[in-house]
Structure 1
Amino acid sequence: MRPHVVAQVAVSLDATTSGFDADQARFYALATLWQEDVTLVGADTILAQETAVRSAPHPGPRPEGPLLAVVDSRARVREWEGLRQLGYWSDVLALYADQTPDRPPDSTIPELVTGYDRVDLVEILDILGDRGARVVRVDSGGGLLGALLDLELVDELALLVHPVVVGSGRPWFEGRALTLEPAGTEVFEGGLVWLRFCVGRS
């Protein structure tokens, strides 16, 4: 059975996901409410944080934590062991496609190969569900979120709206028409607004 997929995104008032200081503490405190089994992330999100990953404390895997699954069709991520040791996740899983470049022969990172030149997100979710995952939280904007929305794989959308107008950049939905059913609203100190929606199907 395919897991429930929730996408959480920190956005500005003009719907961009970059160009402002997101409230990371609030964002990840809210994320714990889903108690996800899998955190699904795109390679670009990980690559943007690799320097921070290298310099962060590494207390080791958290056995009760979710699995970190990274969509990495071009095998660009290198800090796998650092990610595993950050203390947030129980383990890491590299999601590759058939045409993904060869990995180091001594790699010990668990991997799952689906699709030809791109990771097959439908099959990935089906496999994760078969392995017991009930909730997958998408912690990524841009291409991965867009692909999941295009495939109608997102069940729930949560926007942490920050009281700032960036004035540039592309909106997180990039012109997509979405049918959203309100599921909750909460206002926090400093003008942060948390909007939750169920995502309709066409």
Structure 2
Amino acid sequence: MVAQVAVSLDGRTAGFDADLARYYAMATLWQEDVTLVGADTILAQESMLRAAQRSAESGARGAGPLLAVVDGRGRIREWDALRALGHWSDVLALYADQTPARPPDATTRELVAGYEQVDLEEVLDRLGERGARVVRVESGGELIAVLLELGLVDELALLVHPVIVGAGQPWCGTTGVRLEHAGTEVFAGGVVWSRYCVS
């Protein structure tokens, strides 16, 4: 599993203009089977999703990876809009036993793992049983922090932007994770791409 995140120099994931073109260009390096995201990442883009759905063909499917969304509290409503974007082969909702009931006409595929919250270790095991070998996590930080604490991340890739935001929470509150430097590349404008193996 590789965790990829765009951050400011002071470790924030919001409050600056991220180089998204470079971020997604670098994401292609892993050719992941599954893109794992948290509900907050999707909820932050709901208005964009609604606008995109109006201009996209409903139900369009891409040849890309499976999008798996951790939504233990059942907050996401724009599943059809996500699917219609066509970036992913399909969309999978990751729920826990105690996730609020979904509408009876819901068409999104579900994987239920864990009781009160989504059991991420079980999710990865079950995705592996379905043939997934490479999982890339795309998150604002909270999901990555949990995965690091559980020891589930193999590689951490940071796209560091030369800006100090000065407000908001740092992307990761996890401590004591030992990293081994795997490479650094500096791009025009001072954006730094750093990769680390998790010891």
Alignment counterpart, residue 14 of structure 1, candidates 10, 14, 21:
10
Matched letter for residue 129 of structure 1: G
Cα deviation, residue 177, structure 1:
2.1
Equivalent position of 1:172 in the other structure: 171
Question: 1:40-66: per-residue Cα shift (whole Å, max 9, x none)?
Answer: 00000000001101112425210x210
The aligned residue for residue 26 of structure 1 is 22
Describe the superposition over 1:67-87 as per-residue Cα deviations: whole angstroms up to 9, x where unpaired.
000000011101101101102
Find the aligned partners of 1:141 and 1:153 in 2 and give their Cα distance. 17
Output aligned runs, 1:1-202, within 5 Å. Answer: 5-56=1-52, 57-59=55-57, 60-62=60-62, 64-200=63-199
Would you say the 8 A contact 2:184–2:195 is kept in 1?
yes
Deviations 1:115-151 (A, max 9, x none): 0110000000000111100100000123211110110
The two structures, once aligned, show a CA RMSD in angstroms of 1.0
Equivalents in 2 of 1:26, 1:196: separation in Å?
15
Q: TM-score, normalised by structure 2?
A: 0.95
Cα distance between partner residues in 2 of 1:143 and 1:187: 26
- Please state how far the C-alpha of 1:18 moved relative to its aligned partner: 1.1
Moved over 4 A (4+): none
Give 3-state SS (helix, strand or coil) of 1:65's partner.
coil
Percent of residue pairs identical: 70
Please tell me the residue identity of whatever aligns with 1:172: W
Amino acid at match of 1:138: V
Number of equivalenced pairs: 195
Measured in 2, the distance between the counterparts of 1:7 and 1:107 equals 30
Which secondary structure does the structure 2 equivalent of 1:154 belong to?
coil
Q: TM-score, normalised by structure 1?
A: 0.94
1:175 deviates by 4.8
Deviations 1:17-41 (A, max 9, x none): 1111111111011101110000000
